[in-house]
Structure 1
């Protein structure tokens, strides 16, 4: 994925990581055989197709870590045009929201081949957050984020206990009033 300036800094990072740690020998062999670049096997759109066990994807379509460090890293915004938007999504301009919708669209496109797989669960909401499973407030509290009236914990339970379809994808921001937009305070101004 390119950042807002058209650079792709995350792929070279993972390429260097694979080389530095000698990780290639530990990556999925089927994935390695399907690509010329071993580092791609760190990315879900390449790795997931080779996972044979059931899995559940829990992510925000506007993952704050990806937004702040991959999509709009400080190097791509030296004048801070995105600072207010990064600190508060409601402060984003119309063009910034349109750009963020592109981030969401890219993620959903990457997940498209996995939709409908019976052993795969998915909860993709439109909250500005990262790691929504670690906090009771976002996992299973009375005011937790929901999709189709189910919390993350309930949908994971449906998937785990095979109680029917367990794949939910939210509408685009700002439609979800159940969101807890969790912007780490140390990210403000970055």
Structure 2
């Protein structure tokens, strides 16, 4: 009897584990010790690090360099805190390995376009998207409490990037036939900001391109009717003294703090560029659309349940979602219309789609996500075969379910299957999408078609 009662639960466990199962390769990290004498150090003064997995055969001279993300520290106090974390120090990476998955996988079935390339994962430890360069460090003195244990914080993101690239050039990057600089979130923004610099250090005959995943942060209007996030970007630029490494074409026209926002500088990037993003990027929804404003907590709290699930929204709140979506499309229109540039813009409630197998190239447990070219195919075809790839889902007005990990109950999963679905294996992805798209028929509104490219369909829903 007990065995019979357990059977459905065991079946469910197998299903859940199959969702999570992906192949990974564990790589010993390279610590760039020579970078210290160049002043190219992490926030805590440790040298930068990266994980390199050598390519195979003719593909060994093809390089994919992935910049890790992890937000920013906007104030000296925040940067001090980050010195105790992986995003501010490489102490842990000197003794532990990095696991490469999804876009960095060495499995052909999971990463068919880049699996046999030389793949590099650059650890993020500077808090500035790799563009800070402040000469004078910040010293925290503990005086009578602990006078011999001061903390020194460095702001050297641009030097870190340069030192890592110099080290990789000597490891074979200088002989690259093909090279792709990419990254996620703050790393994706770093790939945009450093794109043309990256092109300049490589052989002229090499094919060089850049791609940004979840790094196209927009200057969007928040739920209070302002642009509160501008203050944070201004703090980041000021604290790290990043202005000297931001695009001159932008800083010559506007305040440097606005030149960390891609819509204000992507038109001037000369190297072929690809943008992977969701119009419902979960980080941007939480931090740009609905940031916490201390003097308007009531407004934030009123919107919070809507921000976590559009099912809870009033029609006025739905307008805020759709307004943000519209602003995203307008910002994206600033990308140079050259046929060498590409984009894959969907409505997945996600952040960093190149770092998760189910959003990068799908899995057997997430069927039908690849009826049309998905993220992996889009980026691969654009780079390898120089295909014109501009896929934009501008008709879907609510977040779509594109990933599900029950072991990670964080913001990225607020739009995924409801908890009760864990107990109902018959409840499918298609069921959830149907539910989400039928939530707000009482709030009709059309999103302007800023792009006339073919419609992107996900899971058969257009």
Bin of the TM-score, shorter chain as denominator length: 0.7 to 0.9
Preserved CA contact (<8 Å) 1:127 1:176 = yes
Structure 1 gaps, min length 5: none
Work out whether 1:28 is the aligned partner of 2:247.
yes
Query: CA shift at 1:71, angstroms?
Result: 0.8
Give the number of the structure whose residues are more often strand, by fraction.
Answer: 2
Give the TM-score, by structure 2 length. 0.37
Preserved CA contact (<8 Å) 2:359 2:403 = yes
Distance in 1 (CA, whole Å) between partners of 2:345 and 2:329 is: 9
Work out whether 1:15 is the aligned partner of 2:234.
yes
Distance in 1 (CA, whole Å) between partners of 2:236 and 2:246 is: 12
Query: CA shift at 1:87, angstroms?
Result: 2.3
Q: Give the match for residue 311 of structure 2.
A: 90
SS at match of 1:98: helix
Query: CA shift at 1:46, angstroms?
Result: 1.1
Q: Give the match for residue 38 of structure 1.
A: 256
Preserved CA contact (<8 Å) 1:126 1:173 = yes
Q: Give the match for residue 224 of structure 2.
A: 5
Preserved CA contact (<8 Å) 2:281 2:349 = yes
Query: CA shift at 1:144, angstroms?
Result: 7.2
Query: CA shift at 1:132, angstroms?
Result: 1.2
Distance in 1 (CA, whole Å) between partners of 2:341 and 2:224 is: 34
Give the number of the structure whose residues are more often helix, by fraction.
Answer: 1
Distance in 2 (CA, whole Å) between partners of 1:60 and 1:132 is: 9
Distance in 1 (CA, whole Å) between partners of 2:368 and 2:333 is: 23
Query: CA shift at 1:177, angstroms?
Result: 5.9
- Where in structure 2 are the equivalents of 1:1-190 lying within 5 Å? 1-33=220-252, 35-75=253-293, 76-78=296-298, 80-114=301-335, 116-142=337-363, 143=366, 149-174=372-397, 179-180=402-403, 185-187=409-411
Query: CA shift at 1:178, angstroms?
Result: 6.2
Preserved CA contact (<8 Å) 2:362 2:369 = no
Give the TM-score, by structure 1 length. 0.84
Preserved CA contact (<8 Å) 2:266 2:336 = no
